[in-house]
Amino acid sequence: MSFVNNFKPVNIILIGLVNCAVFAGESVIADNMAMEDSKTEVAESAVIEKSDSDVTDNAESPVIEEAEKNPCISTKPELGDSAFWAITAIEQFADKQYENAVNTVNTCFSQWGPDAGQQQKMYHDEGKKCPPTGKVGAKSKGKIEKNYLMNDVSTALWAKARSLHMLGKTEQAKQAYSQCMYMTCGRTWDPNGWYWSPAKDCAKQVQSIM
């Protein structure tokens, strides 16, 4: 059984084929990921939702336009490759380009997913505490940013799961939500000034299709 289950082909905020053993057999919800639902919803809204005034009818985000060339390679000097990839998927989801978001995540996942999964597995195996959510101090923020690969991968998996959900692909969405929930220590930065947990939100969103 492959990690992506036959799907076809962030450091700010990320599926190809990999071994399912990387992510299998672990608890998908971490006790220390608790964050008030209202804060999660506000964070998601602030990062993801765009009003009609944000995007013109015929215009695409510059990041998306560049990513159409190769979403795995950043063309933005301020963004690393995995961050560029994750942001592209997030913006495609926000622009309701759900198929594109899924394809973007699938296209590059094999480059970063396995390593991020191994990092998460280490946290589980060693009983390490995940980084906090919400508003954090400079020291905690630095620790969170060191986990950029888990952050980018978990955010991209969130974008994929939510996109499949919106497309009505229920079974595939369930699988993607499960993958997202495994990445319990990934964090996404909200421009309003706090971190939220993609895994926790995936655990919440999947309830509506169970």
- Position with higher pLDDT, 163 vs 64: 163
**pLDDT value at residue 67:** 53
What's the per-residue H, E or C state across the chain?
A: CECCCCCCCCCCCCCCCCEHHHCCCCCCCCHHHCCCHHHHHHHHHHHHCCCCCCCCCCCCCHHHHHHCCCCCCCCCCCCCHHHHHHHHHHHHHHCCCHHHHHHHHHHHHHHHHHHHHHHHHHHHHHCCCCCCCECCCHHHHHHHHHCHHHHHHHHHHHHHHHHHHHCCCHHHHHHHHHHHHHCCCCCEEECCCEEECHHHHHHHHHHHHC
- Report whether pLDDT(20) > 60: no
The two tokens of residue 104 are 């973007």
Binned at pLDDT 50, 70 and 90, residue 119 comes out as: very high
84: nearest Cα among 95, 75, 93: 75
Q: How far apart are CA 75 and CA 202, in angstroms?
A: 29
Binned at pLDDT 50, 70 and 90, residue 23 comes out as: very low
As a whole number, mean pLDDT of residues 93-115 equals: 97
Task: Describe the crossing of helices 138-146 and 148-166 by its angle, rounded to 10 degrees.
Answer: 70
Render pLDDT for 155-169 as a digit per residue (tens, 0 to 9). Answer: 999 999 999 999 999
- Report whether pLDDT(108) > 70: yes
**pLDDT value at residue 69:** 76
- Report whether pLDDT(208) > 90: yes
Task: Report the percentage of the chain scoring pLDDT > 70.
Answer: 68
**pLDDT value at residue 77:** 86
The letter for the amino acid at 210 is: M
